Each structure stands twice: as C-alpha cells, then as structure tokens.
Amino acid sequence: MYTMKRIHLGSRQKALQCIKCSAKTGTFLFWATLYLLVMRLTIFKSHVKTKTEDWSAVPDNYTKWLGPVIGNDVPEIENGWSEPDNLTVAELEQRVGRVRRVCRARSLNGRPINSREFFVDHAHNLVWCNIFKAASSSWLYKFNILGGYEKKFLARTRHSPLTLARKKFPRPSEEELEDAVNTPGVVTLLVVREPFVRLLSAFRDKLENIGPPYYRRLARAIVAEHRERAKKIFGNVRSYGPTFYEFVAHLIKSHKDGRNAYDEHWAPYTEFCTPCSVNFTVIAKVETLARDSAYVIHELGLEHVLGRRVRDRRTRLRTVMNRSRDGKNTTALLKYYFSQLDREMLDDLLLIYGIDFEMFGYNSTLYRQYVRK
Ligand SMILES: *[C@@H]1O[C@H](CO)[C@@H](O)[C@H](O)[C@H]1NC(C)=O
Ligand SMILES: *[C@@H]1O[C@H](CO)[C@@H](O)[C@H](O)[C@H]1NC(C)=O
Ligand SMILES: *[C@@H]1O[C@H](CO)[C@@H](O)[C@H](O)[C@H]1NC(C)=O
Ligand SMILES: *[C@@H]1O[C@H](CO)[C@@H](O)[C@H](O)[C@H]1NC(C)=O
Ligand SMILES: *[C@@H]1O[C@H](CO)[C@@H](O)[C@H](O)[C@H]1NC(C)=O
Ligand SMILES: CC(=O)N[C@H]1CO[C@H](CO)[C@@H](O)[C@@H]1O
C-alpha cells in the first residue's frame, strides 16, 4: 500500500522531498562533525593534563575529582598463589599478637560482639568481618565465588555484590559466629587499612560529592551545624557538601556528646568488628593485600576455587599506597585535606581512631605535619 502511494507522487513532489532529505542529511553531518570535534578536544585535553600537571602543586583541584580516587577497590598485585614465605607468616603472627596486647592494655576484652558485619562460610572454613572501604569489594567478590555464583554471572549482574553475598551468607547470630570462630582450622579474617586514609576515602565517596539520599540529608545537617564556624576560619565556603573540616568537626562533636552511633563507612574498626571479643586469626592489610589474601587462600587450600582473577595490565602495574586509581598522589591528597584541621582537632580525632592506629600498627605522627599551625 505504502509503496503504491509513493509511486503515484508527482515528480515535482519527488524533487522537493529530495531537497528536504539532503538538508536533513546536511544538518546531521554538521552536528556529528561538531560532536566528534568536541569529543576529540576533550579527550586530547584530559590526556595532556594528566601527563603534564603536577597534581601535588594544585591542591585546589582535588575537591573536583569525582569518584573513588582513593576508593574501595584497591588494586591487588597478584603474583600467583605461591607458598607464603616465613617473613609473611611472622608478620601476620605479630599483627595478631599486637591486637591481643592492645585489647588487654586498653581493657577492651569481654565487650559485646557485633556479629552483624560478619560473613560465615561454613563450607570453606572462612569467617570475615567486612569493613567498608578496606578492600571490601575484593573480598566480597571472593565470597560470591565461594558462595557458588558463576564469574560470568558476577560480571554482568546489576545486583550489588553485597546483596548477592548476603543471600548466600546471611548475617550470623552471635552464637553462630562464636561457634564458627571456635571451630578448629577456621580462618577468621579482618582486613584493615590506614585509618585516616579510609576515613578520607569514605568522606570523599559519601559526603563531599552529592551522594545517595541518606548521605545528602547527613551532608545538609553537617553543613547546617558547622558552616558558620568554617566561614570564620576559611572565609567564604561555598561547597554544597561539607568540607573535610566540617565533617571532622561533626565527628568530634558526636563523640563528645556521647552519640557514638557511627556510620558503617567510618566506624572505628574496634567498634565495628569488635576484635577484642572475636579472635581473628589473620589481620590482613590493604597495603599488603595481595600477599595477605594469598596467604589466606593458601591456608584454606582454595586456590582451585578462587583461581586467578583476570585483570588488565594497568591495574597490575599500579602501586598500592602512593598512587590512587587515576594516578593521583595520595600523600598530596592527605596533606590537602588534613591541612584544614588544627592540632587540637587532630588530637580529638585521635580520641576516636587512635586505638585503631595502635591496635593495627599504624603511625599517626605524620599527620602532625599536615595540620594547620
Ligand atoms: C621457613 O621456616 C621453616 C621452619 O619453620 C624452615 O624449615 C625453612 O627453611 C624456612 N624457610 C626460609 C626460606 O627461611
Ligand atoms: C582468644 O584466644 C585466646 C588464646 O587462644 C584465648 O585466651 C581467648 O579466650 C580467646 N578469646 C575469645 C574471645 O575467644
Ligand atoms: C611509597 O612511598 C614510600 C615513601 O614515600 C616508599 O617507601 C614506598 O616504597 C612506596 N610504596 C610503593 C608501593 O611504591
Ligand atoms: C606526592 O606529593 C607529595 C606532597 O606534595 C610529594 O612530596 C611527593 O613527592 C609526591 N609523590 C609522588 C610519587 O609524586
Ligand atoms: C611514629 O613514627 C615516628 C617517626 O616517624 C616515631 O618517632 C614514633 O615513635 C612512631 N610512633 C609509634 C607509636 O610507633
Ligand atoms: C585542571 C584544573 O581544573 N585546573 C585548575 C585548578 O585550580 C586552579 C586554581 O583554582 C586553576 O587555575 C586551574 O585551572
């Protein structure tokens, strides 16, 4: 029917159509060219920028970097699951010993257990307390594999790794957790990270930029409470979300008011995983993650289940502590943010996180150089 009608169109009409259509094509080509040109320029520009700019020299720009600059997904440099060397074994033993010592010295033993954040894999003899922003995606992935999900499924699913893992490993009761931990041969794993690096990572991820509704409300509340004072110190503060100064002021105030209900993304490790009430057998660190994870996998004989993750070469070449995902300099970032605090605030912040530093063998002395004089 349609083609029949077209055949009957007069030749004048046909010519008109042709003009119309070429005009359309012309417009399309024009916009397409413009688009490509702009894209090229943008890509070219950003390419040049990362090559030539010394980011440590332009701290003002740090707040503009979106995304997990020093985020959760820390690259794991894998060297295969080889036999753990004696140095590794000795260091891991020392870490466990240190936790026990600090628990005793600070009289933290016998506190109630927080079992909610644990994953218990009875079948593979593995117990893990999941600290957000401390390699949690790396170990969630491993738990999802242990739970029986296919790698291919995990690669394309829209569900969050946490949701999937909780389907296989629901939150254990306190009794279930204690039973599991006391089973002979079980590895009870805790992965920690330098406490302030993790704090900053959580701040940047959840509050500095516009986040999910819960964090947006919290961000507004923090700004409402602390912006006035921030303006007195820094002049005009215009950011929508809280500055690091305001965030830390909020943490300190909550702590002093006795409101110790920390958000899961910045709760002290000591409160979140209660390491003085649960005996961890392996304290892994994000800073030595590949080695420590390999140890756990070797101990449990899980090499064949977990295999090796396929990674791109860039990931493998990045170093862990000094460079973040997009090649920015973590030291420079820490300096930039901590220079917003003064010495007294740092001391107050250490009232909250000092035990984490002590218990897991990190040193906070460096931050004294970063804060305002
Ligand atoms: C590691 O320790 C074991 C015994 O504890 C010893 O037999 C072995 O030689 C050591 N290996 C190295 C490389 O020191
Ligand atoms: C942890 O292990 C130590 C030594 O094996 C033991 O003395 C202590 O009671 C255990 N603590 C808990 C909470 O199970
Ligand atoms: C990071 O830098 C420190 C000194 O600033 C150095 O000792 C360390 O080896 C570096 N780490 C990596 C993984 O490059
Ligand atoms: C990172 O920044 C710090 C402070 O600005 C600087 O001292 C250090 O050399 C930088 N490191 C790298 C690897 O660029
Ligand atoms: C931290 O490091 C400084 C030197 O950088 C040292 O003087 C201090 O004793 C260390 N603190 C702890 C608790 O190890
Ligand atoms: C890349 C970029 O955005 N650079 C800017 C960083 O901030 C300084 C000062 O605020 C600007 O001059 C740069 O253009």
How many beta carbons lie within 10 A of that of residue 157, not counting itself?
Answer: 14
How many beta carbons lie within 10 A of that of residue 199, not counting itself?
Answer: 24
Helix (H, G, I), strand (E, B) or coil at 329: strand
Give distance in angstroms: CA of 199 to centre of ligand 3: 20
* Residues in the ligand 6 pocket, defined by CB under 6 Å: 49, 58, 60-61
The pLDDT assigned to 68 comes to 33
Q: Which of 40-44, 111-115, 129-133, 243-247 has the lowest mean pLDDT?
A: 40-44
Higher pLDDT, 15 or 118: 118
Q: What is the dihedral of CA 325, 331, 332, 337, to 10 degrees?
A: 100
The pLDDT assigned to 16 comes to 59
- CA terminus-to-terminus distance, the chain: 84
Mean of pLDDT values over 25-30 = 78
List pLDDT tens digits, range 259-280. Answer: 766 788 899 999 999 999 999 9
Mean of pLDDT values over 170-192 = 96
Residue 180: nearest ligand to its CA?
2
Domain boundaries, the chain: 1-31, 86-197+259-370
Contact present, 331 and 322 (Cβ < 8 Å): yes
Provide the pLDDT confidence category of residue 147 given band limits of 50, 70 and 90: very high
* Residue having the nearest C-alpha atom to atom 4 of ligand 6: 61
Residue 89 vs residues 84, 95, 99, 103, 284: alpha-carbon distances, Å = 7, 10, 16, 22, 11
Helix (H, G, I), strand (E, B) or coil at 343: helix
Q: Which of 22-31, 144-153, 230-239, 358-367 has the lowest mean pLDDT?
A: 22-31
d(CA 273, CA 164): 21
Instruction: List CB contacts of 90: < 8 A, sequence separation 6 or more.
Output: none
Give the closest residue to 142 by CA, choosing from 95, 185, 179, 191.
191
* Residue having the nearest C-alpha atom to atom 2 of ligand 3: 322
Give distance in angstroms: CA of 182 to centre of ligand 2: 9
Residue 85: nearest ligand to its CA?
1
Give distance in angstroms: CA of 238 to centre of ligand 6: 16
Copy the structure tokens of residue 179. 């039973």
Give distance in angstroms: CA of 296 to centre of ligand 4: 33
Distance of CA 2 to the CA centre of its chain: 59
**pTM of the shown model:** 0.73
List pLDDT tens digits, range 62-105. Answer: 333 322 334 444 444 454 556 788 999 999 999 999 999 999 99
The pLDDT assigned to 258 comes to 80
Residue 366: nearest ligand to its CA?
5
Q: Is the CB of 154 under 6 A from ligand 3?
A: no
